[in-house]
Amino acid sequence: MARESKLELGTWNLEVPSVSIPGVRRALQSDVLKILAYVVAALLLGSLLAPWLYTLGKALAEVTQGKQTNGFVDWLASACRKAEFPRFFNRALLLSALVLLFPLVRWLGMERGRQAHRDTPWSLRQPETAMATSGGQPLKRNLRGPQQLLLGWVLAAGGLLLMGLILVQAGFFVWRDASLGPGIAPVNGWKVVRSALGPAVFVSVIEEILFRGVLLGLFMRAMRSWPAIISVSLLFAFVHFLQPPAGVVVPDPESSTAGFWLVWQIMGRFTQPLDLISGFATLTAVGLVLGCARWRTASLWLPIGLHAGWIFGVAVFKAITWVAPGGTPAAGLLIGSTLREGLVPLVVILATGVVVQRFTHVSRDGTSPAE
């Protein structure tokens, strides 16, 4: 029942009914809409920034051509020289997401109520208002976290690379070998591992803090656990599906509309059944397994390990193999150009989720939802 409170306005006393429980629930659910608005705004801002970033990057590459500068500038100029417009578009999206994150935090009211949970190792990343209340689950300190991180890494990377070995034997991929053609350098195993390790660690930590730490906590404020996990998984898949089709060439990358033109090409992937089955479905399954791991352990250690292992496995396999020539549409449905696309990786991801479900348990100390 709604209660009434008095509001003094000049000499008038007005009886104002307080917010009812359904009204509170609607207010909580609006956080989800704010997050979706944030995604759309980041996409629009990234589309605007991409041509400018492309122009600046190519200008830097041209100015430093043949000149000796410091190591960082040399590395940046070399990267800009090799990169095409889609890479600049991707970086513009990341920059836009970072810039808009600060107004999102204020919009969600996360700057208030910073009372830290002493047993929560992620308290700086998971403010009080972002944690689940009734029907939710705050992140808790996990003494077995490092072991779970290592287990997740081995389980994810090992499963993908074992699948990759089977696919090579089945003829879907071939090993990169110097004997396959002139001018092809042999694979440097240590260089491959080192190149894959850095992005695997960095991307997994950042994305798990954002998606399974903050966003899943926010979604759990508005809905029950599994609907929240599914919603965040679909959002995770949508963001990662924003990749241009293979071989796309932007007609005029310096045009102010180049970013929007590329977005239109990307959105066309959502109309392709093969892309949806082989790409979007697999990404959604990844999000579901990571969300389940976070919920069942009440921490981010296991999701980070799984995520890093998958990134590492995909990167290493891509660096040491080629797609076998002469593929058929049926083969493209089973496996794409990497280990992250196709029905076969989808089955492996889901099998990994079954293992996670089998060897983890929901905390019984009151931190997990009572469903």
Burial grade of 290 (CB within 10 A; 0-12, 13-18, 19 or more):
buried
Best CA proximity match to 206, nearest among 318, 314, 311: 311
Separation of alpha carbons 205 and 152, rounded Å: 13
The mean pLDDT of the chain is: 77
Helix, strand or coil for residue 190? helix
Read off the tokens for 11.
């000499």
Read off the tokens for 181.
């053609």
What is each CA distance from 329 to 5, 332, 335, in whole angstroms?
Answer: 67, 5, 10
Angle, alpha carbons 185-190-191 (nearest 5°): 60
Listed as own residue / partner, the contacts of 76-80 with beta carbons closer than 8 Å and 24 or more positions apart are none
Whether the CB-CB separation of 294 and 302 falls below 8 Å is answered with: yes
In the numeric block, the tokens 């350098």 are attached to 185
pLDDT band at 226 (very low <50, low <70, confident <90, very high): confident
Listed as own residue / partner, the contacts of 254-261 with beta carbons closer than 8 Å and 24 or more positions apart are 254/51, 254/54, 254/55, 255/51, 256/48, 256/51, 258/50, 258/51, 258/54, 258/85, 259/46, 259/47, 259/48, 259/49, 259/50, 259/51, 259/89, 259/92, 260/47
User: Taking 80 as the threshold, does the pLDDT of residue 280 lie above it?
Assistant: yes
Q: How many CB atoms lie within 10 A of CB 289?
A: 28
User: Taking 50 as the threshold, does the pLDDT of residue 370 lie above it?
Assistant: no
Helix, strand or coil for residue 6? strand
331: phi then psi, degrees, rounded to nearest 5? -65, -35
What is each CA distance from 296 to 31, 190, 225, 304, 357, in whole angstroms?
Answer: 24, 35, 11, 14, 8
Best CA proximity match to 57, nearest among 39, 76, 33: 76
Dihedral, CA of residue 191, residue 245, residue 346 and residue 221, to nearest 10: 100
Average of per-residue pLDDT across 325-349: 79
What element of type H or E holds 242? Answer: none
Separation of alpha carbons 107 and 34, rounded Å: 8
Separation of alpha carbons 357 and 349, rounded Å: 12
The pTM of this model reads 0.72
Whether the CB-CB separation of 207 and 307 falls below 8 Å is answered with: yes
Share of the chain above pLDDT 70, in %: 75
User: Taking 90 as the threshold, does the pLDDT of residue 308 lie above it?
Assistant: yes
User: Taking 50 as the threshold, does the pLDDT of residue 114 lie above it?
Assistant: no
Best CA proximity match to 337, nearest among 116, 173, 151: 173
- For residue range 149-202, what is the model confidence (pLDDT) as tens digits? 999 999 999 999 999 999 999 888 888 875 555 556 677 778 888 888 888 998
For strand 173-175 and strand 12-17, is the pairing parallel, antiparallel, or unpaired? unpaired
What is each CA distance from 128 to 20, 108, 117, 124, 220, in whole angstroms?
Answer: 23, 12, 8, 9, 13
User: Which residue ranges make up each domain of the chain?
Assistant: 137-371
User: Taking 50 as the threshold, does the pLDDT of residue 329 lie above it?
Assistant: yes
Most confident of 3-12, 30-39, 99-108, 165-174: 165-174
